[in-house]
Structure 1
Amino acid sequence: MCSNHTVVRCNEKDQETLLTFKQGINDSFGRISTWSTEKDCCAWRGVHCDNITGRVTKLDISYNQLEGEMNLCILKLEFLSYLDLSVNDFDVIRISSIQHNITHSSKLLYLDLSYNYPILHMNNLDWLSSLSSLKYLNLTEIDLHKETNWFQAVNSLSSLLELQLRECNLNKFPSVEYFNLSSLVTLDLSGNKFTSYLPNWLQIVNSLPSLLELKLSGCSLNNFVINPSIQYLNLSSLVTLYLSDNDFTSHLPDGFFNLTKDLTSLYLSFNNIHGEIPSSLLNLQNLRHLDLSYNQLQGSIPDGIGNLSSLSYLSIGSNNFSGEISKLTFSKLSSLDWLDLSNSNFVFKFDMDWVPPFQLSHLSLKNTTQGPQFPSWIYTQTSLQSLDLSSSRIALVDRNKFLSLIERIPNELSLSNNSIAEDISNLTLNCSILFLDHNNFVGGLPNISLIAQIVDLSYNSFSGSIPHSWKNLKELRVMNLWSNRLSGELPLYFSNRKQLETMNLGENEFSGTIPIMMSQNLKVVILRANKFEGTIPQQLFNLSYLIHLDLAHNKLSGSMTKCVYNLTRMVTIHETSLFTTTIEFFTKGQDYVSRIQQERRTIDLSANNLSGEVPLEFFQLVQVQTLNLSHNNFVGTIPKTIRGMKNMESLDLSNNKFFGEIPQGMSLLTFLDYLNLSYNNFDGRIPIGTQLQSFNASSYIGNPKLCGVPLNNCTTEEENPKNAENEDDESIRESLYLGMGVGFAVGFWGICGSMFLIRKWRHAYFRLVDTVCDYLYVTLIVKLNSFR
């Protein structure tokens, strides 16, 4: 940001361009609220100006959750050298008049439009031709499938050093002769839909003399077996090679690594590579990064891997390796910084007093056999940023060392699915992502860092109330406290958590009323099985992002307030991005543990004391898949609009006071897999249709005046009047009349129209009429004469 903006003011022309750019933006969180004429534009958020000229040279508004239109009129800024609009929520790009408006020689060196959700679509890249000075271009996750000449567009950028086109839905890879970017150092085309043979791809290395880094991950490449004698594969200058996520099904040929002796980074994860690690790997003495994870590799780790002294990143988990791992494996790996051995069957044999020669920043031993004692060598890792020991059978810890360790980890700490029983109520955990679920932790909840985004403490024995220190967790997005012994009222400061998306407080002993004000970003609200009382705040039904609401098994009472429902995600399907965590879904009369599913829509208000009529809006939430209103005192009828809820899989209205007929439209709910309408006051005939007859009698019992399959047969008196009034019979009758009318019109004009249009038919018709008339006349005269 310009530090001397009080002396040198922002250029008026630049300010006008910035304000034009802002017009199409929906800034829900006020991230660029400083962008107004009341302030000099050099003081605006993300805007940087030259200290002498006051011209805008840099604009960085990434990671700001901006929505709406990304107007590339911003490229009209004459002295702009750096533009970063990445990681926002722009949903459209406006590029129609860019080339006509850019009359100056562009000074732009850095351009990043990547990672905007929903996915942006761009039909052409012709506008790139005016950015001749560009050195860095990142269009990752922009859909370019309609731009068939993308390689010709980027070819005009002769100064380009780095090109990122990851996951752009590209499907046509250019011929080698078109790739003439002689300055290119890094090329990332991973995650597209190319289908080709690997040797054909690697020929581009020869056409790009400066290329040091090549990323082809996730491109559906095949023919992985490479013959080292193929001379045109000159990979000697390549230092970084990404081939991950390509579904290779071959083994690693022993001579493969002889092609790339200067290689420093090799990524082959997420393939189906089988066999053993070839000995030629040990020839890569400059190797610093090795990722072989998520393959089908077998055997033991080569003894010589410990001689790769430059190795700083080693990820070989999620394979079928076996054998022992001991201190000899790591004896010379003093540079090791990242170690991932997760999901493996290694036998770990380390002495209790072993002190490794390295200091790790990341360690993952998830789903390995470590316990019951916490591995003592991990206590020596004072530089750990992330630690994952989930599902590693740990029960016993050295209390003082353990508490000191978990308190200093700043990024991610995952100890899920172990049997650790410690009191950590006096700790302040400083990590941003915390998973301590499925353990035996006791005492009060710990203090949490202000940077925390995900906190999962479910399935423990924590007690007491939510600490007052949690009021400052303004970055928190996921809070999962399911199944503990927590109590007390929910603090009023919950309304300050504007980023909160998932709030799971189920299976505790919380009491009081549900807070009126909550985060407008909430997508999952679970307060199930507590002691909440009072009415349901109508504000809950104005959470436009909400997809899962569970207030079941509380003491809620009163009627459902009639209000304007704004549950947008329950009506229309939008791409929903959620942090991964485990929650409990209760559906089909049972419960099951599940990861949050993006498309799942659920409402459960069962087992309360709610009364009155259910607002009509409830039965217009057409994307809802599970609706449970059972065990309350609701009255009224099921509205006919329920026929529109065609995604419904589980519907439970049992044990209420609903009355009237079951709408015929319910037979149209073809996905319905669980239905319970028992113990109400429904009457009349169960609508005929294979869907509703597929459930057994238990779905309908407790309704004395209800009849029809699968219950007892209806009498004629019960059946006929009700069928006469059925809304779908009316619809059928209307359709029949309409069909008859249309059929008559079609038949009439089909015949008559043909006679009018076809001369032969017309003459034949009139001849027939004349003949019939003559016949009738003669017959009539003969009869009259006979009477005389």
Structure 2
Amino acid sequence: MVIMDVPRRAVTLVLLRFLAVATITVVFCSREGNVICLESERQSLMRFKEDLVDPSNRLSSWDGHSDCCNWAGVVCDNSTGHVRELHLRNLHENMGAWAAYEAYRRSKLGGKINPSLLNLKHLNSLDLSNNDFGGIQIPHFIGSLRSLRYLNLSNAGFGGVVPHQLGNLSSLHYLILGDFSLRAKNLRWLSGLSLLQHLDMSRVSLDMGHDWPQVINTLPSLVELHLSNCGLRYEGTLPYVNHTSLAILNLSDNYFVCLLPSWVFSLHSLISLDLSNAVFQGPIPGSIRNMTNLRNLDLSTNNLTATIPHGLHSLNHLESLDLSDNLLQGRISGDIGNMTSINYIDLSDSGFEGRIPRSIGNLCNLKVLDLSGNNFGDGPDFLTSLSGCIIHVLESLQLVESQLSGHLNDQLGQLKNLRYLNLEGNSISGPIPMSLGRLSSLRSLNMADNQLTGTHFPENLRHLRNLEEIYISSNLLEGVVSEVHFSNLTNLKVFHASGNPLTLKVSTNWIPPFQLEEIHLRSWHLGQQFPMWVQSQKKLSGLDLSCTGISDGIPAWFWNLTSQTSYLNLSHNQIHGEISYIPKQSDIYSEVYLDSNQFSGPLPRLSNVNEIYLSNNSFSGDMSNFLCNWTDKASQSVVLRLEKNLLSGDLPDCWRYWESLSVVDLGNNNLTGSIPSSIRFLHNLESLHLHNNRLSGRLPSSLSSCTNLQIIDLAENEFVGSIPAWMGKSFSNLMVLSLRSNKFHGEIASELCHLCSLQIFDLANNNLSGKIPKCFYNFTAMAKEPNEIIHLSYPYAGGEYLEHAVVVTKGRESQYDIILSLVTGMDLSCNNLSGEIPKELTSLFGLRTLNLSGNHLTGMIPQRISDMKLLESLDLSRNQLSGEIPPSMSGMTFLSYLNLSYNNLSGKIPLSTQLQSQNATSFIGNHLCGLPLTENCSISTGVTPEIGDEEDKQDGHEMDWFHLCMALGFVVGFNERFKNVVPLQGAGKDSYIDNE
């Protein structure tokens, strides 16, 4: 958690201190005297209201009879009664909670802007921000409100081109237009606004506005300029801007791809400079030392290199510094201790290394320090850097993933004012120090993903009365946690402690002193009974009790308690009984994990759960009530996993109610019938698992409508007919196609060669005939060498769904998920394929497993099969192949499983560690000789010895030469095998016995 409120406060203080600009009052003061608003202006306001849409009735005081100067948002002149200001900004801006967001959304004004505003001749301030006018253009007539000094139309839902008529507002001091839906062809119309002090066009598209630097130079009064996220691009030198009055400059979130412009650092009047996330490159100019008025500097999220210039450390008036997410090098200089006014430092993810300088302890105003994501490699000594006057002021310390190790010492307890401590993702070991209990101001503690140990959970944590969040997941903590540990934590809202073998022992009638919003206790020992204390927690939004040993039923009160929970995980327990109904868990995105338990009976009714995991239980019966009970509205589910249950009956034809689905897994059940035609409604479907059922019939053409599919697993069913040619055209993103163990027949259509993204192709155990298509070389994903693990996952609002696939290799079935992106395989075994093995297959350099066994293939093994250097498993057994084993196969250093048995191969088995280490059963049923077979090539078979063999005999070193080859082969094979590659699982000695 990075605390950003400090720099905002700093900016505010700086502005109050240094900017002598006019401010717009937003306080509706009572008026002196008996002056009331003018009737003509009151009528104009009523006409304006009539064209507005006001869903929350914000303008209820605008009744048409009362004094308009008393209406909400209206400010009148105290002496004349003229309407001077309209403040119709949507004030509901807290987006932190769903209820707050709903209030914000309902309070938005909409509709149209009536020209009656032109009758308000004395209007000098108009604020319509944070509303929603549905994309209408900003009315041109606003440019005729000549008295306007303040205009704020930001985030108001206006769209289209910004009207150039706004350039007629010659009295304007403030212009704020920020909105993603707006664009400007140019900015020349700004040149007439000579009094403009504050210009904010953030998020307005200025792709064609290359004239902005020249226009800015024509605005002599400009104090603030905000052009953040405007699509500005300068791949060269950023044009020069010369301004003596500019105090605040924000060019963040653009795409400049150039060096930091030197002229920016010559703007000596700048107080706040934000150039973050703008793809600036190169070093920070040393001329930064001349910016003596600078208080806030943000250069984060760029590609800045080299070290921090010493000139930066001389800015002892700087209050906020953010250089995070750059490519800076070396150590953090001890000169940082000279920045005595600094109260906010963020140097996270910037490539620093070495030790944290002790001079940081001299920063007596520093409240926020974030050094996360660097490589400090410090042991507990990093805490010595936090001695000195900093211990009295520091409020937030972030050292996430900073390569810290060793034990925490008691010096941590000296940071009396610390409110936020985050040491997540390091290698800190040992117990949680007792001194932590002295941090009485602490609100958030995060020590997750370390190596903390200890058999006694520290009771001193109960002294942290202000603590709201505890994150200690993924450590090695043991022992018993009791009621005492929580006795004073009345403000606790979040408790994440998953992945620790802790035991919770509390009385059956315990009522905790807190009201938690999130409880994550995965892998704790909670006992067999369902924890009754959960019933007292009325504000739950997240609950994880997975892997906790519960073998009870779910109490009746539970589902009402969790009706607003967005994340519910009770998986991997022994919870039993039936579930009749799972209510909507939240008004926002919701996930329910009940998999790997002992639930039974029919599937429960749902109420729009987004992700539902009921797999690996004993749910039974048909799916009709579950799938088809959506007569009022469609399901919003995106993930549906029901695999490994006892479901039966036909697959219902109700998929039109499930259009949002991206993942469907119904594998390992007893489902019958065919795939229904309503499958065509699943346009968002990316993953379809129906393996190991009793489904039958032909694959319906309606499936071709699911064009986003990446995974199709229909293995181990009773599907018939030919494999549809339309698959090759419809599924351009398909990565896994498994149709093994069905009743498909006919030839493999050449159209399937269009599946260029295919990584796993399994058609084994069918009745396919004809030749292997030569165009399989088009499987370009099999021709690449994957060099990193990329989780095959689908991002959703609740996180990511990690994909999985079942792959048969080396004679056994394995399921892959985390390393699925590294798995490539083709299995055409146990069919009736004939002809030669196409030499084009050898261009699939990234293939790891190839199984063509159990067919009627003839001809020779392709000579260039050794080009498939990543092959780990090769099975060509039970065919009619002839000729010799290609000598080049001795160079296949990753090959750990080979089966060439029961063909018509002849000659000597080539020498290599991989081939000679195979079991002899891998070569039987041929006319071969040489190790690992017992047949000697020169004696038993009469095969003409190779030249090398004869020469070795003459020298009397035949066995020495053989052992030398074996040794070299082992060394080379070992080094190559484990170089940048994650191999598939190995095979045992009996992996080749599957023969005639």
If the length of structure 2 is used for normalisation, what is the TM-score?
0.57
Work out whether 1:658 is the aligned partner of 2:881: yes
Match of 1:165 among 310, 315, 325: 325
Would the alpha carbon gap of residues 664 and 138 (structure 1) be closer, same or farther in structure 2, given more than 3 Å must change?
A: same
2:842 and 2:868 in contact (8 A); partners too: yes
Question: d(CA) in 2 for partners of 1:75 and 1:542?
Answer: 48
- The alignment status of 1:546 with 2:727, answered yes or no, reads no
The CA distance in 2 between the partners of 1:152 and 1:483, in whole Å, is 69
Rounded Cα–Cα distance in structure 2 between residues aligned with 1:540 and 1:127? 57
Question: Is the contact between residue 404 and residue 428 of structure 2 (CA under 8 Å) also seen in structure 1?
Answer: yes
SS of the residue 1:379 aligns to: helix
Contact 1:76/1:102, CA 8 A, preserved across alignment: yes
What is the CA–CA distance in structure 1 between the aligned matches of 2:731 and 2:717, rounded to whole Å? 21
Instruction: Give deviations 1:249-288, integer Å, cap 9, x for gaps.
Output: 11012221313x2222211111111222222211222222
Structure 1 position 221 matched with structure 2 position 221: no
Superposed CA deviations along residues 354-396 of structure 1, whole A, max 9, x for unmatched, are 8433242222222222235245443121112222222112342
**Residue 464 of structure 2: aligned partner:** 284
Q: Call closer, same or farther: CA 1:121–1:610 in 2, change over 3 Å.
A: farther
Instruction: Tell me, yes or no, if structure 1 residue 270 matches structure 2 residue 449.
Output: yes
Bigger drift between 155-164 and 615-624 goes to 155-164
Q: 1:193 aligns with which of 365, 375, 399?
A: 375
Q: Is structure 2 residue 928 aligned with structure 1 residue 706?
A: yes
Partner of 1:298: 478
Matches within 5 A, 1:637-676: 637-676=860-899
Matched, 1:438 2:644: yes
Partner of 2:183: 49
Give yes or no for the alignment of 1:503 onto 2:712. yes
Decide whether the 8 Å contact of 2:444 with 2:469 is kept in 1: yes
Residue 97 of structure 1: which of 218, 236, 253 is its match? 236
Q: Once superposed, what is the RMSD of the aligned Cα atoms?
A: 4.8
Residue 719 (str. 1) matches residue 943 (str. 2): yes
> Does 1:108 pair with 2:290?
no
Question: For the structure 1 residues 102 and 511, does the alpha-carbon distance in structure 2 shift closer, same or farther, using more than 3 Å as the test?
Answer: farther
Q: Give 1:313's match in structure 2, choosing from 494, 498, 505.
A: 494
Deviation at 1:408, TM superposition (A): 3.3
Q: Distance in 1 between matches of 2:312 and 2:685?
A: 42
Which of 834, 848, 863 pairs up with 1:611? 834
> 1:646 touches 1:669 (CA, 8 Å); kept in 2?
yes
2:625 to 395, 408, 426: 426
Matched with 1:589 is: 811
CA 178–605 in structure 1, closer or farther in 2 if over 3 Å, else same: farther
1:182 corresponding residue in structure 2: 343
Count of residues paired in the alignment: 661
SS in 2 for 1:280: helix
Q: Quick check: 1:390–1:417 contact (8 Å CA) kept in 2?
A: no
Residue 577 to residue 228, structure 1, CA distance change in 2 (3 Å) = closer
Check conservation: 1:212, 1:239, Cα contact below 8 A. Answer: yes
Q: After TM superposition, give the deviation of residue 96 of structure 1 in Å.
A: 6.4
Distance 1:253 1:204, change over 3 A: closer
CA offset digits 1:383-439 (Å, max 9, x no partner): 122222221123422324589977236444334444444644433564434444333
Tell me what 1:748 maps to: none
Partner of 1:571: 783
Q: Give the corresponding residue for 1:339.
A: 519
Distance 1:202 1:124, change over 3 A: farther
CA contact (8 A) 1:667 1:691 kept: yes
Pair 1:413 & 2:606 matched: no
Q: 1:423 to 1:698 in 2, by over 3 A?
A: same
Check whether the contact 1:128–1:154 (CA below 8 A) recurs between aligned residues: no
* CA distance in 1: counterparts of 2:511 and 2:917, whole angstroms: 62
Counterpart of 2:864 in 1: which secondary structure?
Answer: helix
Q: Is the 8 A contact 2:938 2:945 kept in 1?
A: no
Structure 1 residue identity aligned to 2:183: C
Please give the secondary structure, in 2, of the residue aligned with 1:533. strand
Contact 1:393 1:419 in 2 (8 A): no
Relative to structure 1, the CA distance from residue 547 to residue 46 in structure 2 (aligned partners, 3 Å threshold; closer, same or farther) is: farther
Partner Cα distance (2:212, 2:730) in 1 = 39
| CA pair 539-240 structure 1, distance change in 2 beyond 3 A | farther
**Structure 2 CA distance, aligned partners of 1:406 and 1:147?**
60
| DSSP-derived class of the 2:822 partner | coil
Q: Does the Cα contact within 8 Å between 1:631 and 1:654 map onto a contact in 2?
A: yes
Give 5+ residue unaligned stretches, structure 1.
Answer: 9-34, 36-44, 62-72, 86-93, 114-119, 725-788
Local SS of the residue matching 1:426: helix
Query: Residue 250 of structure 2 aligns to which amino acid in structure 1?
Result: L
Shift of 1:665: 0.4
Q: 2 CA distance for matches of 1:599 and 1:367?
A: 29
Partner of 2:563 in structure 1? 382
SS at match of 2:253: strand
Shift in alpha-carbon separation, 1:566–1:229, aligned structure 2, 3 A:
closer
Q: Contact 1:393–1:418 at 8 Å: present in 2 too?
A: no
CA distance in 2, matches of 1:209, 1:475: 55
Partner of 1:83: 229
Contact 1:300 1:322 in 2 (8 A): yes
CA spacing shift, 1:478–1:204, aligned 2, 3 Å? farther
CA distance in 1, matches of 2:791, 2:731: 16
Matched, 1:253 2:433: yes
Question: Per the alignment, do residues 488 and 564 of structure 1 end up closer, same or farther by CA in structure 2, a change over 3 Å counting?
Answer: closer
Q: TM-score, normalised by structure 1?
A: 0.71
What amino acid does structure 1 have at the position aligned with 2:405?
A: N
Partner-residue secondary structure (3-state), 2:376:
coil
Distance 2:613 2:480 in 1: 27
Cα displacement (A) at 1:652: 0.2
Per-residue CA deviation, residues 66-99 of structure 1 (Å, 9 max, x unaligned), is: xxxxxxx9999987644399xxxxxxxx996355
> What is the percent sequence identity of the aligned residues?
31
Q: Which amino acid aligns with 2:573?
A: S
Q: Distance in 2 between matches of 1:155 and 1:556?
A: 77
Structure 1 residue 298 displacement after superposition: 1.9
Report the alpha carbon displacement of residue 342 of structure 1 after superposing the two structures with TM.
1.0
Q: Structure 1 566/418 Cα, relative in aligned 2: closer, same or farther at 3 Å?
A: same
Listed one character per residue, the Cα deviations across residues 291-316 of structure 1 (whole Å, up to 9, x for unaligned) are 11111222222314265233222111
Instruction: Say whether residues 1:630 and 2:853 are aligned partners.
Output: yes
Matched, 1:694 2:694: no
Aligned-pair distance for 1:219? 1.5
Instruction: Look up the equivalent residue of 1:247 and give its one-letter code.
Output: S
Q: Structure 1 residue 691: deviation in Å?
A: 2.9
Q: 1:347–1:502: structure 2 CA closer, same or farther, 3 Å change rule?
A: same
Instruction: Give 1:719's aligned amino acid.
Output: V
